[in-house]
């Protein structure tokens, strides 16, 4: 089950955290994975670790907010394989603040990566996916795209947009062989989250408070999120499209 042998996969934001776990999970399932990120050092590390494990990967340096970068990524992949089977739009950035602590520039910065970046990269590949009558697009949203999160105005605004983008993509192209789904993680124990927690006056208290927002009383691991992405990418999910798949440990239960 969940076999991706001979599939060509592009994962953005693959240099750490959820993206790294997705890239490695896809490679273990048999795919050739393009691990894309702005962070060349860690992106190269992830690709090297995949290859050292006997699996297939290549690093692509990519800024999804720049359309020219997305077009170059498509050219590179097409020159090597002539196709892309699975696109995982995982790259994203965050911001803390209410509208009072959020500038227009903050909102534009998040929108450029979290929404327009997803648009740019999907648009670079969608035509050939439609030609082949096959393509899987998986977009990383957030539980903050399903319910509001306090003091995350800009972040939630963009993640709600990701879900809308995903649903429209799925509806418009369902009869052309395209499946599009969004994942909506709750809090995940990534290096980024750990670093943020370490900056609090009382890191242990901050960790407990963040963990307790999930009904199960803990944060997810990146690998748990990646397992759900593997399912959505696989042929076993052939009847699944247009979903906002909540992987939140019960964060949104009752909200």
Residues with a catalytic annotation lie at 155
Q: Which residue has the tokens 């691991």?
A: 221
Q: Tell me if 11 sits within 8 A of 212, measured CB to CB.
A: no
* Closest among 153, 150, 141, 140 to 209, alpha carbons compared: 150
8 A C-beta contact, residue 187 and residue 224? no
In terms of phi and psi (left: phi > 0; alpha: psi -120 to 50; beta: otherwise), the region of 13 is left
* 3-class state of residue 202 by DSSP: coil
Radius of gyration of the chain (CA): 17
Cβ atoms within 10 Å of 79's Cβ, excluding its own: 8
User: Under a CB-based contact definition with an 8 Å cutoff, are residues 2 and 228 in contact?
Assistant: no
Structure tokens at 137: 């697009």
Q: Which candidate, 114, 244, 127, places its Cα nearest to that of 178? A: 127
Q: Which two tokens stand for residue 151?
A: 């003091």
DSSP assigned state of 58 = E
CA neighbor of 84 nearest in space, from 23, 159, 9: 9
């Amino acid at each position: 089950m969940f076999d991706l042998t001979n599939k060509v996969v592009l994962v953005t934001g693959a240099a750490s955290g959820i993206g790294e776990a997705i890239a490695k999970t896809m490679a273990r399932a048999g795919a050739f994975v393009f691990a894309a990120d702005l962070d060349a050092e860690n992106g190269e590390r992830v690709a090297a670790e995949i290859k050292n494990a006997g699996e297939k990967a290549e690093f692509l340096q990519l800024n999804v907010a720049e359309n020219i970068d997305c077009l170059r990524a498509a050219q590179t992949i097409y020159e090597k394989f002539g196709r892309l089977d699975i696109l995982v739009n995982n790259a994203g950035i965050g911001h803390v603040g209410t509208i009072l602590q959020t500038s227009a520039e903050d909102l534009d910065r998040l929108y450029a990566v979290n929404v327009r970046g997803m648009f740019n990269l999907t648009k670079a590949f969608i035509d050939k996916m439609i030609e082949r009558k096959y393509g899987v697009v998986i977009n990383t949203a957030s539980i903050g795209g399903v319910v509001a999160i306090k003091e995350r105005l800009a972040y939630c605004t963009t993640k709600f947009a990701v879900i809308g983008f995903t649903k429209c993509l799925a509806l418009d192209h369902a009869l052309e062989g395209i499946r599009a789904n969004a994942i909506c993680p709750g809090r995940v124990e990534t290096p980024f989250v750990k670093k943020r927690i370490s900056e609090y006056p009382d890191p242990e208290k901050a960790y407990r408070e963040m963990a307790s927002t999930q009904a199960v009383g803990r944060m997810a691991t990146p690998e748990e999120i990646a397992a759900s992405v593997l399912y959505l990418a696989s042929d076993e999910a052939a009847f699944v499209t247009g979903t906002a798949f909540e992987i939140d440990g019960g964060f949104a239960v009752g909200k």
